[in-house]
Structures are given as C-alpha cells and as structure tokens.
A and B are shown apart, each in its own frame.
Chain A
C-alpha cells in the first residue's frame, strides 16, 4: 500500500546544530514529494517540493531535501537550526491515483538553547 513513514515522532536538537528529518515513502510510480511545516495553531506551510530533475531541492527558511530513489527516501536537512524552527514537520507524497496528497504522521522538532 502506498504510504509515507516518518520514523521519528520527536526530535530535539540544540540551537545551531544541524538537523535531518527522515522520510520514507512507498509508491510504485515516480513520486511527487513535499515537506510541510506546521507551527502551533497554524496551518501547513510548504517548505519545498520535488517533482523531477535535480535530486537536491532547496526550500524556504534554509531547508533542503534530497530525493534518493534507491532508498525511497526524501530526508529534510538544515545545517544550523534556529529556535524559530521548532514546529511539526510533515512529509507528503502526491498520489495520482486518487489525486491526493498522503501525509506522514509528522515529526515534532524541539530546539533547545
């Protein structure tokens, strides 16, 4: 079955440290992949997306993600985390069958000073 897995429910990093949030997907065709961020009480904001081409994608707020087809992964990275990055992060894959975006369960990022 098509799915998106975010193995880490919570991650805590120190301010200024690097960050990597993991995402694995299960989808037969070439995926369209997304990362969204949700701050408390807010909607979902698109960080970046991958449709095709360069497998390293740059997004907003200094985030990037790398698509690795062989590992069915689309991990999100940031070289230096800021306290304002504390939020919940969702990986999602667009499935043409059903024309829907399927989300992972989310990873809550805590940033300690």
Chain B
C-alpha cells in the first residue's frame, strides 16, 4: 500500500458528461501529480500541484482541470467527456516540489461509453 488513495476505483459514464476524480496524498506529502495512462499514449503527465498551487503542467486538455485543497487532497475534473478520454488516471504524491520520490495510487479506471 503506497499510502496514496484514489476514488473511485472505476467509473463508467456517457459522452458529454463531467466527472471528478479524487486523490488523497500520503500523510505529509505536499505535491500531487496526475497522470493519464492509455493504450495509445502510454503514461502522460497531466498536472502537478504543490501545497495548493499549480506547479507544473503537462499534456492536460482544456476540458480537464484540477485543484488541490487546503487539506492537500486533489481533484481532477474531466468535462465534455469523449470516448478517447477512457483511460486509467493515476495520482502520485511526493513530499517536496520535485520528483525525488513519488508514490502512486492504484488509479481510477474511467470508461466513457
């Protein structure tokens, strides 16, 4: 158990809908990273938050947004969902701003139908 908790584990929704994925980092970790894993794109970095502030941005679509709350949990919001958004979404956390050691959650599998 990495100590990073992601909910829900599975999500099935229709095209055009909006969903929210939740991540609770390990105790004491200030950074949260979001990754998307799909068959065609592999593991793609989406976005990082550090202590509530956006720290780095990757290949995140404009339809996607994220935030980190004062209690350090993070949410990834996906809207106007398309079939191609079906993927495994991972959250990882680390103590500092850089990726010296990060731990991954078990992911949320999103299926858009």
Contact = CB atoms under 8 A, between A and B. Distances in A.
Given A32-B99, A44-B90, A94-B98, A100 B45 contact: yes
Contacts of A101: 33, 45, 99, 102
Given A90-B43, A99-B56, A105-B42, A45 B2 contact: yes
B2 A43 contact: yes
Interface size class of B (residues with CB under 8 A): 20 to 34
B48 interface: yes
A59 B62 CA distance: 38
A100 B56 contact: yes
B100 A32 contact: yes
Interface residues of A, number: 22
A44 B101 CA distance: 12
A43 B99 contact: no
Interface of B: 2, 4, 33, 42-43, 45, 48, 55-56, 58, 90, 92, 97-107
